[in-house]
Amino acid sequence: MKAIAINGSPRKNWNTATLLKKALDGAASAGAEIELIHLYDLEFKGCCSCFSCKRKAGKLVEHCVMKDDMTEVLERIMLSDILLLGTPIYLGNITGEMKSFIERLIFANLSYDSVERTNYTGVIQTGFVYTMGLPHEMLESFGYQYIFENNKNYLQLLNGHSEYVISTDCYQFDDYSKYAASNFNEEHKAEVRKKQFPIDCQNAFEMGKKLALYVNG
| pLDDT value at residue 85 | 98
CA distance 97 to 102: 9
Between the alpha carbon of residue 46 and those of residues 7, 64, 65, 127, 133, the distances in Å are: 16, 10, 12, 21, 26
| pLDDT value at residue 58 | 62
Between the alpha carbon of residue 128 and those of residues 102, 135, 146, 156, 199, the distances in Å are: 12, 19, 14, 12, 16
User: Over the stretch 24-67, which tens digit does the pLDDT of each residue have?
Assistant: 999 999 999 999 999 999 999 999 998 888 887 666 667 788 99
Q: What is the CATH topology of the domain spanning 2-216?
A: Rossmann fold (3.40.50)
Contact 134, 147 (CB under 8 A): no
| pLDDT value at residue 177 | 83
| pLDDT value at residue 60 | 60
pLDDT, the chain, mean = 91
User: Over the stretch 111-123, which tens digit does the pLDDT of each residue have?
Assistant: 888 777 888 889 9
CA distance 78 to 55: 20
- pLDDT beneath 50, residues of the chain: none
Domain boundary assignment for the chain: 2-216
